[in-house]
Amino acid sequence: MSILLHTNSKDGLSTYRKNHLYSIILEALVDGQYYLPQDLFYTLTTYINEEIKWNATIADINAAVTYLVYIGMVEVKEDTSIRITKIGLEALADCRFQQLASNTFFNYRSMKNNEIAIIFALFSLVVSLAALVIPTFK
């Protein structure tokens, strides 16, 4: 399953995965050298965490690199080799995507905790209603 499959803005986990993928691509390119795509994919395996490593596809990485090229953080030569730009180095120094990834993961966990709290609240409401109704049948 592709990690970029869910395009709903409410899908916090997918947003976390995308931002984390952007940050590790920039980290892999931090030395400023040009990388061929296959070399980049090999280098990414040292930076990527296990959860994303087994769920990310080549298409996800290509889409992430395309996005980074679009916003000017990565440049591509005619032979398809890529490297980080000055803007990308500034973003990496500011930890922009790392902060975005951690914030979106925190928001995702908060949303999941709120959903669990709502389920418990509904369950307690059902139990309290049952406690009121059951004695009336005696």
The residue segments making up the domain with residue 45 are 12-105
68 located within any domain = yes
Q: What is the CATH number of the domain that holds 82?
A: 1.10.10.10
pLDDT at position 71: 93
What pLDDT digit, counting tens, does each position of 10-26 carry? Answer: 577 788 888 888 988 89
The closest of 91, 54, 70, 88 to 62, measured between CA atoms, is 70
78 located within any domain = yes
Q: How far apart are CA 39 and CA 12, in angstroms?
A: 30
pLDDT at position 4: 46
DSSP sequence for 79-111: TS-EEE-HHHHHHHHHTHHHHHHHHHHHHHHHH
Per DSSP, 19 falls in state H
Q: How far apart are CA 136 and CA 116, in angstroms?
A: 31
Region 37-60: mean pLDDT is 77
Per DSSP, 76 falls in state E
Q: Are 74 and 88 in contact (CB under 8 A)?
A: yes
The whole-model pTM stands at 0.73
Distance of CA 19 to the CA centre of its chain: 5
Q: How many domains does the chain divide into?
A: 1
Q: Rounded to whole angstroms, what are the CA distances from 2 to 23, 101, 132? A: 18, 18, 49
Q: How far apart are CA 75 and CA 17, in angstroms?
A: 22
For residue 6, pLDDT over 70 is answered with no
Predicted confidence band of residue 120 (pLDDT cuts 50, 70, 90): very high
122 located within any domain = no
Query: Which runs of E-coded beta strand occur in 2-128?
Result: 74-76, 82-84
